[in-house]
Structure 1
Amino acid sequence: MRKSAWGKSGIVALFFLGFAANAQSDATTQELNSLIDDAIFFTDRYITPATDAAVYQAASGWISTPQKSNLWDFTVGVYVNAFLVPQSDRQFRLSNSDFSFFTIDGADTALTPTALGSDEFVTLNGTLNGEPVVVKSPEGVNRETIVYPYVQAALGLWKGTEIVVKYSPEITLKHVNYQVYGAGLKHNLSQYFKRMAAKKISLTALLAYSKEDITVEFLDVQTAYGNLGFTALNSLIDTWQLQLSAAKAFKKLELSAGFIMNTSDFEYEIQGKKGAIEDIVPLHDILNERLRAIYKTKSNYIGELSARYQFSRIYVQTSIAFGKFVNSNISLQYKFK
């Protein structure tokens, strides 16, 4: 069993004063403390594959072409992104030894889906103040491929620099809502090397920022105090990305390859209607403060290959990004002059 660490926030005092005022025992306080420990553990295992995948989806397709843009060139495109969910990230194993409050109904261990997993579930049992607590573990999106559309535009500025923006509407999948948006600056480097331009080779660098917003249906915890209000879990991800891409033009066809380095900060927050237990103790605030323990920063190194074909001012492009995951992208773009 894991031991909780309340830090210096005075949370222990809130628990003991709140429950003492309501004639509750120290045992109930410890039970609620253990329930929070289990919720933190489950949150990390359940949501991490989805947040890692979101970073890959947001990283792909930023550079439509490494070629130098002219001042006020404007390109807008409609993109369809397809993320392949690996089998290893669709489920994880739970054991009774992982928990300090819950036990798995009828088993010592069980496989349960992540947010990227199936629509199966595991039933968890506990006891709070002598009353049973039964929780069904959250389900996943139940898809092998996650597809979502977005729009992207690029405006040519001075000296081969472009500003690029991307935006997706909020996409609702089964049990999951997802949205991404961001902006970046791209600068052509091959303009400084005349031999590259003569051979129709282009080189460009991109610095971009994106925000990924994921909300999943989470734990529906019913107790003698009513629902605890853990019904939704939100993750906000801030990603900074540096990319280098090179391309070779063959008449109307352009082939390019790129290398992406990005760093992402992950934050989590429990959402949902607060339960009656909030009259005794501010459980939402306590749990969200405790979730800081699983905030994290991660870096990724991603390769990207792309092909783009021109039909007058219309371009068709497809790309694939690969590393820990595989993400593909296809788009239809129009260039205004």
Structure 2
Amino acid sequence: MTCLFFGNRLQAQSSQTFEDLGYLLNDALFFSDQYITPATDAAVYQAASGWMTSPKKRKLWDVTLGIHSNVFFVPKRDRSFKVNNADFQFFQIEGATSATVPTALGNDSQIYLAGDLDGEEIRLKSPEGVNQETIFYPYLQGSVALPYGIEIIAKYSTKTKLKRGDYQVYGFGLKHNFSQYFKSLEAKKVNLAALAVYSKEDISFDFISIPTQYGSLGINRLNGLVDTWQFQVNGSKEFGNFELMAGIIVNTSNFKYKVGGERGEIENIIPLQQILNKKLEEIYKTKTNVMGEISGRYQIKKFYLQPVVAFGKFVNANFSVQYEF
């Protein structure tokens, strides 16, 4: 009966209603891209550093476990973006022709957007950012030394709660020491190694709630899903219990996006959430990053303390306490 009621209502005004819904979805697509892209770019940096704790060759079956704390410094240039009424097909900025709004990495300021759907005013607040100058998350990382100077590495973080969302990363990698082939380097306590890594980052934010006479439109949550392939080369020099390390990181990331949330009764007629998720494929991206990494590792018996800084477009810091079995 509900389906019939909404079906008859939509059918009576199908042309304008469907056209308006199309405009609304186009606006949501535009806003989604501007809002979440800086956060997914940042997620790559958050996941990239600290993978190689040392390029030196470890003894066969040695196990290392570490607790890592990662701090990402949010740059001011990625905290906001500008919108104009000309950018929208359905919505208009309330009381202005243009405005500056936060990205997912921005503050908690908001503006109102308004539009008309089937004679009903749709009025909503723009989504807020995390409102944090630094983003912190802890994770566990472990490695096992295999034959021929190979080491398998894995990292995992539980979902870290942000002020307006969640962040999670996990992945694995293979390291190979190649200074073992140069006895002169080993004699000078110089270590060289290469590392290949796959990681997955999942970052989500509270997005926009659009109440209508048909119920919510189901875009209350916006997810950025990032698959990253990373290659890096690191070298180090040992000075007693201290090891100084530097490296170059190159990674390629595939970015995908999806929305979710409570679905309204309009979903009985039009699968709006499915349609928008299909439209979000238009802003899928592939990006390559090149960054540098420097770190120092200090040994205290079987414990190691290690700060790491990765730099490029962004700056990311990492500190870990490791134990070698």
TM-score > 0.5, shorter chain as reference: yes
Name the CA distance, whole Å, in 1 between partners of 2:120 and 2:214. Answer: 10
**1:84 lines up with 2:73 in the alignment:** yes
Describe the SS at the equivalent of 2:64: strand
Q: Provide the residue aligned with 1:237 in structure 2.
A: 226
Residue number among 60, 63, 70 corresponding to 1:74 in the alignment: 63
TM-superposed deviation, 1:226: 1.5
Q: Under a length normalisation based on structure 2, what TM-score does the superposition of the two structures give?
A: 0.96
Name the CA distance, whole Å, in 1 between partners of 2:280 and 2:8. Answer: 23
Name the CA distance, whole Å, in 1 between partners of 2:234 and 2:41. Answer: 23
Deviations 1:162-191 (A, max 9, x none): 000000110011111110000000000100
Name the CA distance, whole Å, in 1 between partners of 2:10 and 2:240. Answer: 79
Contact kept in structure 1, 2:215 and 2:263, CA below 8 Å: no
Q: Provide the residue aligned with 1:180 in structure 2.
A: 169
Name the CA distance, whole Å, in 1 between partners of 2:10 and 2:197. Answer: 52
Describe the SS at the equivalent of 2:12: coil
Correspondences of 1:23-34 after superposition (within 5 Å): 23-34=12-23
TM-superposed deviation, 1:25: 3.5
**1:256 lines up with 2:245 in the alignment:** yes
Residue number among 65, 77, 86 corresponding to 2:54 in the alignment: 65
| Structure 2, unpaired ranges of 5+ | 1-6
Name the CA distance, whole Å, in 1 between partners of 2:311 and 2:8. Answer: 52
**1:105 lines up with 2:94 in the alignment:** yes
**1:273 lines up with 2:262 in the alignment:** yes
**1:223 lines up with 2:217 in the alignment:** no
Name the CA distance, whole Å, in 1 between partners of 2:58 and 2:15. Answer: 68
% identical equivalent positions? 55
Q: Provide the residue aligned with 1:333 in structure 2.
A: 322
Contact kept in structure 1, 2:258 and 2:280, CA below 8 Å: yes
Deviations 1:64-123 (A, max 9, x none): 001001110000000000000000001111110110000001011111111111011111
Q: Which amino acid aligns with 1:107?
A: A
Residue number among 24, 28, 33 corresponding to 1:35 in the alignment: 24
Q: Under a length normalisation based on structure 1, what TM-score does the superposition of the two structures give?
A: 0.93
Name the CA distance, whole Å, in 2 between partners of 1:40 and 1:304. Answer: 35
Name the CA distance, whole Å, in 2 between partners of 1:216 and 1:56. Answer: 18
Name the CA distance, whole Å, in 2 between partners of 1:149 and 1:56. Answer: 15
Q: Provide the residue aligned with 1:164 in structure 2.
A: 153
TM-superposed deviation, 1:29: 1.3
Q: Provide the residue aligned with 2:297 in structure 1.
A: 308
Contact kept in structure 1, 2:10 and 2:17, CA below 8 Å: no
Contact kept in structure 2, 1:124 and 1:137, CA below 8 Å: yes
Residue number among 105, 108, 111 corresponding to 1:119 in the alignment: 108
| Structure 1, unpaired ranges of 5+ | 1-17
TM-superposed deviation, 1:22: 2.8
Contact kept in structure 2, 1:19 and 1:25, CA below 8 Å: no
Name the CA distance, whole Å, in 1 between partners of 2:286 and 2:68. Answer: 28
**1:211 lines up with 2:200 in the alignment:** yes
Name the CA distance, whole Å, in 2 between partners of 1:66 and 1:115. Answer: 36
Q: What's the Cα RMSD here?
A: 1.1
Range moving further from structure 2, 201-210 or 222-231: 222-231
